Amino acid sequence: MSDKAPPSFVARYSVKTRSPSRDVRVRLTQDGISIEEPDAPSTGGQPLLWRYRSLSIAEPLSAHAIDALLASSDHPGAALFVPDKSFARALASQAPQLTTSSHRRRTTRPWIWAAGTLVALLVAVWLSGFSPAKAVANLLPGSARDMLGEQVVDSMTRDRATCTAPAGLAALDQLTAKLSVAAGTRQHFKVVVVDWNVLNAFAAPGERIVLTRALIERAKSPDEVAGVLAHEMGHGIEMHPEAGIVRGIGLAAATDLIIGGAGGSLANIGVLLTQLSYSREAEREADAHALKILKTAKVSPHGLLDFFDRMAEIEKDGDGGPGVFRSHPQTQERREVVAAAVGYSATPALAAKEWAALQSLCSVTTRVEPEPDRPAPSPSGRARPGEIDS
């Protein structure tokens, strides 16, 4: 009874996907990490226990580790960040499997790794099995997600114009709002169309979505664009782009983002993200969201199916370039899931007039972020938002 309790450390804990992280205290006990959250109604004030052998770590513990970002198979989806070097050292002796010597992994600084090779990124993305990346992504503060999203969109629009015909923007806003409301997650999606003759669509962090001119112009109905948008919203809702970035830049760099620094070292993220492809599991999740969104919005799910079918043909003909289909593989399974969507009465995603306006969105283009009062730089300019093209 006179045994002293082990010292406690301040930490941040996120209980599951999309829940905000909160302050907790942790202790290293004989059996595992004890996580105490005094005012947590969910646990009734009882500490949680993460057994040592249930742990996985974002970046293996080195002798110089100053923090630890952990996940546990005892509580899938949860993440724990302990910014304390004495904790890291004590943990290394309790759970030697989490150390660099047992992982035999490179200890180069992760952003050098990120800037260095796409190969490393792809390997990291494709490594299957349990990964705390998604749980970590979930810990990113909104400001970091916004910053990442801006960098991605910026890297896409740096050398390309964005499509900004006013009537088309209004139609796009209308469609985006309709689907956002149907998604019911209170997220505010921001959609940009870039003047680019390659079929592509992707979700970026911070609820941003990028579509290309080719995608808008080759769609045969507003339902097709709605289907693609709803699918990308599904990726955004699941934070797949954030998780992909966390895998891509290395988890330690992501922890820097969590605690609010190192933004400037991540300039290549946007480029990396455009190369990302998602797992089948992620695609299934995005499709499931898309079908729910479309149903709530009373938009036919067949647009999604038709679009992917037709675009797969175009890509096969070598016309579309590498684009949406490498990152969104068409599978028989996907076709069946969409086809099995329960029938419901649907109306076109946009009325004829708005649809015509959306298809003409790229009749007006802007070289910088679509801010109407800003003069466009010269055609050869490479001005970025906030910079003067001299």
Q: In angstroms, give the least distance from the CB of 136 to Zn ion.
A: 21
Q: In angstroms, give the least distance from the CB of 200 to Zn ion.
A: 11
Q: In angstroms, give the least distance from the CB of 225 to Zn ion.
A: 15
Nearer to Zn ion, 62 or 327 (CB): 327
Nearer to Zn ion, 153 or 209 (CB): 209
Does position 192 interact with Zn ion (CB under 5 A)? The reply is: no
What is the Rg, in whole angstroms, of the alpha carbon atoms belonging to the chain? 23
Long-range contacts of the stretch 368-371 (C-beta < 8 A, 24+): 368/157, 369/157, 369/162, 370/162, 370/164, 370/169, 370/192
Closest CA to 289 of 307, 304, 274, 268: 304
Residue nearest to Zn ion (CB): 328
Does position 328 interact with Zn ion (CB under 5 A)? The reply is: yes
Nearer to Zn ion, 178 or 328 (CB): 328
Closest CA to 100 of 136, 58, 72, 130: 58
d(CA 39, CA 30) in angstroms, rounded, equals 24
d(CA 187, CA 322) in angstroms, rounded, equals 30
Nearer to Zn ion, 12 or 328 (CB): 328
- Rounded to whole angstroms, what are the CA distances from 388 to 79, 159, 163, 384, 385? 42, 15, 21, 8, 8
Applying CB under 5 A, the span of 3-11, 74-82, 125-133, 321-329 interacting with Zn ion comes to 321-329
Whether the CB-CB separation of 139 and 256 falls below 8 Å is answered with: no
Nearer to Zn ion, 57 or 192 (CB): 192
Q: In angstroms, give the least distance from the CB of 328 to Zn ion.
A: 4
Residues sharing a CB contact under 8 Å with residue 368, sequence separation 6 or more, in sequence order:
157, 374, 376, 377, 383, 384, 385
Nearer to Zn ion, 48 or 338 (CB): 338
Q: In angstroms, give the least distance from the CB of 283 to Zn ion.
A: 5
Q: In angstroms, give the least distance from the CB of 211 to Zn ion.
A: 13
Q: How many residues make contact with Zn ion (CB under 5 A)? A: 3
DSSP string, 124-175: HHH--S--THHHHHTTS-HHHHHHHHHHHHHHHHSSS-EE--HHHHHHHHHH
Nearer to Zn ion, 15 or 286 (CB): 286
Applying CB under 5 A, the span of 42-50, 76-84, 216-224, 323-331 interacting with Zn ion comes to 323-331
Nearer to Zn ion, 219 or 286 (CB): 286
3-class DSSP string for 185-254? CCCCCEEEEECCCCCCEEEECCCEEEEEHHHHHHCCCHHHHHHHHHHHHHHHHCCHHHHHHHHHHCHHHH
Q: In angstroms, give the least distance from the CB of 230 to Zn ion.
A: 11
Q: In angstroms, give the least distance from the CB of 28 to Zn ion.
A: 41
Using CB under 5 A as the binding rule, the residues of this chain from 253 to 312 that contact Zn ion are 283, 286
List contacts with Zn ion (CB under 5 A).
Answer: 283, 286, 328
